[in-house]
């Protein structure tokens, strides 16, 4: 079956623009450097003051630069490799491409709504939009009727489901632990700094956690959608957790204060995600081509 040309255009656009914004994010300079800023909440925030992330806090700028590095060194190569495999009607390529698009969608949605406004805002919007529509088209292209045939009969259903329940539970507990004190004790959320709201927490609690739980449940029941969503979640989890690990390393380099237990947990989940990712690829049927 002939491939959808729109996918080639969108993926090419995503690769090109993400390379541009990542390179600028990493290497841009100029500005006054770090300085203190009193937020409306009364918190004193250290502003990065350099390059394209000049108006972001040191914490968020550190995460942005690390995310740019991961996108450049892992995200874009994986996206292009997946596109080539998908072009050859590889089912593994289909899973890789869909999951990697999920990574780009999440990443640039956070750039649009969390990062302080900068000259690349419209490029972040284009990247978010392109990733969204490419992701939707990939999900719509799946062969849901015969989806089980694309996986090994010995698929580690319990392992993959447990991993998703673990990720969902960890994220839920971590973020609710940050939010609950603000509801009952009137505290300002830790890490809000000079931003207006908790964007990442909102995305994770509103989308990532429900999708992880739903996907795991559907997989256990051996529903076709469970196989597809699980594959996407596992690929997206692999790329995103590596990106988060890079963010935390860069935050440590910039001496940003971090909580010990969540940091250890994220690094541990990143290592587990590599094992899970490899196992998923090994348990897909290499002899079947995707539609």
Which has the closest alpha carbon to 208: 168, 243, 268, 159? 168
- The pair of three-digit structure tokens given for residue 66, joined into one six-digit string: 């690390």
Q: Kindly report, residue by residue over 178-201, the tens digit of the pLDDT.
A: 899 888 877 888 788 999 999 999
Residue 268: what are its φ and ψ, rounded to 5°?
A: -65, -45
**pTM recorded for the entire structure:** 0.90
Domain assignments of the chain as residue spans, ordered by start: 5-282
What is the longest distance spanned by two Cα atoms in the chain? 61
At 290 the pLDDT is 65
At 241 the pLDDT is 78
Helix axes 76-87 and 5-27, enclosed angle (nearest 10)? 170
Element (H, E) at 47: strand 44-47
Q: Can you tell me the distance from the alpha carbon of 143 to that of 272, in angstroms, rounded to the nearest whole number?
A: 29
Element (H, E) at 35: strand 35-38
At 209 the pLDDT is 95
Residues 6+ apart with CB under 8 A from 30: 50, 51, 54
Q: Can you tell me the distance from the alpha carbon of 208 to that of 146, in angstroms, rounded to the nearest whole number?
A: 26
- What string of pLDDT tens digits covers the 291 residues of the chain? 578 899 999 999 999 999 999 999 999 999 999 999 999 888 899 999 999 999 999 989 988 998 999 999 999 999 999 999 999 988 889 989 999 999 999 999 999 999 999 999 999 999 999 999 999 999 998 888 888 888 888 889 999 999 999 999 999 998 998 899 888 877 888 788 999 999 999 999 999 999 999 999 999 999 989 988 988 888 878 777 777 777 777 777 766 766 667 777 777 887 888 888 888 888 887 655 666
* Cβ atoms of 3 and 82 closer than 8 Å: no
Residue 143: what are its φ and ψ, rounded to 5°?
A: -90, 80
Q: Can you tell me the distance from the alpha carbon of 281 to that of 91, in angstroms, rounded to the nearest whole number?
A: 10
DSSP state of 98: H
Look-up of token digits 């491939």? 3
What is the helix, strand, coil percentage profile of the chain, to 5? 70, 5, 25
- Asked whether the CA dihedral 180, 233, 112, 28 is positive or negative, the reply is positive
Which has the closest alpha carbon to 209: 241, 245, 164? 164
Task: Return the number of other C-beta atoms located less than 10 Å from residue 57's C-beta.
Answer: 24
Q: Kindly report, residue by residue over 153-171, the tens digit of the pLDDT.
A: 888 999 999 999 999 999 9
């Amino acid at each position: 079956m002939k491939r959808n040309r729109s996918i080639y255009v969108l993926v090419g656009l995503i690769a090109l623009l993400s390379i541009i914004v990542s390179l600028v994010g990493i290497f841009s300079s100029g500005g006054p450097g770090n300085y203190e800023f009193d937020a409306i909440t009364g918190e004193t925030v250290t502003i990065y003051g350099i390059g394209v992330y000049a108006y972001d806090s040191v914490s968020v700028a550190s995460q942005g630069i690390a995310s740019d590095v991961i996108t450049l060194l892992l995200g874009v190569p994986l996206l292009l490799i997946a596109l080539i495999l998908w072009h050859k009607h590889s089912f593994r390529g289909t899973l890789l491409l869909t999951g990697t698009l999920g990574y780009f969608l999440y990443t640039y949605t956070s750039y649009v709504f969390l990062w302080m406004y900068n000259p690349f805002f419209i490029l972040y919007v284009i990247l978010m939009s392109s990733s969204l529509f490419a992701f939707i088209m990939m999900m719509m292209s799946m062969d849901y009727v015969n989806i089980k045939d694309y996986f090994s009969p010995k698929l580690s259903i319990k392992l993959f489901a447990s991993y998703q329940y673990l990720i969902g539970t960890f994220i839920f507990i971590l973020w609710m632990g940050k939010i609950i004190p603000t509801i009952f004790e009137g505290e300002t959320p830790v890490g809000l700094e000079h931003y207006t709201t908790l964007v990442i927490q909102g995305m994770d609690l509103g989308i990532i956690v429900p999708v992880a739980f739903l996907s795991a449940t559907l997989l256990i029941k051996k529903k076709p959608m469970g196989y597809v969503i699980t594959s996407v979640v596992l690929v997206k989890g692999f790329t995103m957790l590596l990106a988060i690990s890079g963010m935390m390393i860069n935050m440590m380099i910039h001496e940003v204060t971090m909580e010990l237990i969540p940091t250890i947990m994220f690094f541990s989940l990143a290592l587990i995600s590599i094992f899970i990712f490899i196992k998923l690829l090994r348990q897909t049927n290499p002899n079947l081509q995707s539609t």
